[in-house]
A and B are shown apart, each in its own frame.
Chain A
Amino acid sequence: MLQVQNLAAARGGRVLFSGLSFTLLAGQCLHVQGANGVGKTSLLKMLAGLSPSPVGRVSWQDKSYAEWGDDLGAQLHYLGHRDALKDTLSPLENLLIGARLHGVRLTEHTALQVLQRVGLACHADLPVRQLSQGQKRRATLARCLALPRPIWIMDEPWVGLDLAGQAELGAWIAAHLNSGGIAILTSHQLLPEQIPSVSILALHAPNAATAVPEAAWAC
């Protein structure tokens, strides 16, 4: 259970949102919506533990993020705007090294299977700089599929993917939710229909953040 209480963010002295509270249970997905610059990415970075929140409290499994400390990284996947791939390494090397840095030693066989799932089996040995934007995104998503983590935080994950890729990503997120994970996504599109129990959080500029509750979570 991810609990967010009274969260606020500011940038350059301007309040982006404040008083944000919600609870996400296992299997639930939160779709963060809002215009450009209302603080979607700031919120996601806070939820990923990358930037501290000046006020409020975020807790996962009844332990606050501060209590989790460095171990929080083993609980979540954060997918930012940038792909976090090294240009000179192949998708396979990126995946193996990325997993090792998270304390997981993948065998090459497992890694290749994951790359096959994301449709990069034929490109596993090419340097990433030779891949297209969508293929890079797939290589990044391979990390999410290879390392099981209960929280998926994804900033515009559909950007750059082709239609088939968008559908596949929808299916992967749905499978993640069905296995008891939670997902927090931003997207300017509607989420694919196969994703179950989506709640929508609409951020508004400049000071009010309103949530439209759909399931069993309240403001």
Chain B
Amino acid sequence: MGVLSFFASVLERDVLLAWRQRGDVLLGLMFFMLVATLFPLAVGPEPNGLLRIGPGVLWVAALLANLLALPRLFHGDWIDGSLEQLLLAPYPPSMMVAAKFAAHWLVTSLPLALAAPLLAIQYGLPLAQCLMLVASLLVGTPIITALGGIGAALTLGLRQGEVLLALLVLPLLAPVLIFGSGAVGAVAAGQSGMAELSLLAAMACTSVFFAPWLAAKALRLAIE
């Protein structure tokens, strides 16, 4: 069995596990919807104001919802000892981590990105901006998973690890937020927004390429 087949096995396993505990996945989605719904209530229903803050608010809500799910990435496997078995598998640990990232993104970030247009209606975003919002979330959220994944591996088993993880990762994710909401803002200003999206894609490629390797190193430390 090759490395790719191993990747597929881990991915399949994690998606199956998430399916068995689909309540957890729904929690993140509901959190996203709730936060995004609270803003119009607090700010007031003035259409121009909502239109202006919409992209930023939706991106922040998506970021927080993703962050909320990050501790789950390795914690379950660490607590029941499966992580040791995963690291003992006769394949590169970074491949295992990459597969876990992919599964995490599929079950956590993808639903958020797909639910975003529904919430964008509350802010009266036009179709072009909705599409750019989905595109920027699809390209940007892998960065959250990848950088957050390193943080999740580093804070594994620490007391108050979840809070530490948020403090560790949020500053690093500022560029993602800037370019993500910036892409939607550019569309609103009549530009294409492709420049921001391309930068986001470049960041995604780099982080997805290096993060699994770094996270695997951190996991080795966590199980010692």
Contact = CB atoms under 8 A, between A and B. Distances in A.
Contacts of B92: 70
The binding surface of chain B is classed by DSSP as helix
B206 interface: no
B89 A82 contact: no
Contacts of A104: 1
Nearest to B21: A88
B87 interface: yes
A73 B17 contact: no
B82 A84 contact: yes
B46 to A, nearest CB: 47
Given A50-B87, A103-B89, A84 B81 contact: yes
B80 A88 contact: no
B146 interface: no
Contacts of A48: 84, 88
Interface string A78-120: 1011111111110001000110111111000000000000000
A71 interface: yes
Given A88-B17, A101-B89, A105-B1, A83 B224 contact: no
A101 B6 contact: yes
Given A49-B88, A78-B84, 20 more contacts: A45-B224, A50-B224, A70-B90, A70-B91, A72-B90, A73-B87, A73-B90, A74-B90, A81-B81, A88-B17, A88-B21, A89-B20, A93-B16, A97-B13, A101-B89, A103-B1, A103-B89, A103-B91, A104-B1, A105-B1
Interface of A: 45, 48-51, 70-74, 76, 78, 80-89, 93, 97-98, 100-105
Interface of B: 1, 6, 9-10, 13, 16-17, 20-21, 76, 79-82, 84-93, 220, 223-224
